[in-house]
Amino acid sequence: MNPNSNTMTTIENDSEKHEMTREHADKIRSAPPLNLTKKEAAVYLRITERHLENLVSRGRIPRAKLGRRVLFLREELDRRLRMSMLAAA
């Protein structure tokens, strides 16, 4: 096991910072398609949670609610990113 794998890191998204282990941040960015929490989705997209909430409220990014949990499908986030990149080109 890498001795530095559990060191804390700060992930910055626009003006918001998230403290987590470097190992956890790497897992969020490289894991296979799955459901992400709001915080994980914001880190994955490199935006703030507030910006993510705005995109959801405008219908730009879909989400699922399971009880009080809000989840985002990584495949859908990737698809939306590709669509926005194609529109910008």
Q: How far apart are the first and last CA of the chain?
A: 42
Six-digit token pair at 23?
Answer: 């190992």
* Residue-level pLDDT at 85: 82
Predicted confidence (pLDDT) per residue in 2-43, tens digit: 444 456 655 555 555 666 777 777 777 775 657 899 999 999
User: Model-level pTM?
Assistant: 0.60
Q: Considering just the CA atoms, what is the radius of gyration of the chain in Å? A: 14
Parse the chain into domains and list their residue ranges. 8-88
pLDDT digits (tens, 9 = 90+) for 44-63: 888 999 999 999 999 999 99
The residue ranking higher by pLDDT, 85 or 32, is: 85
- Hey, which CATH number is domain 8-88, 1.10.1660, 1.20.120, 1.10.10, 1.25.40? 1.10.1660
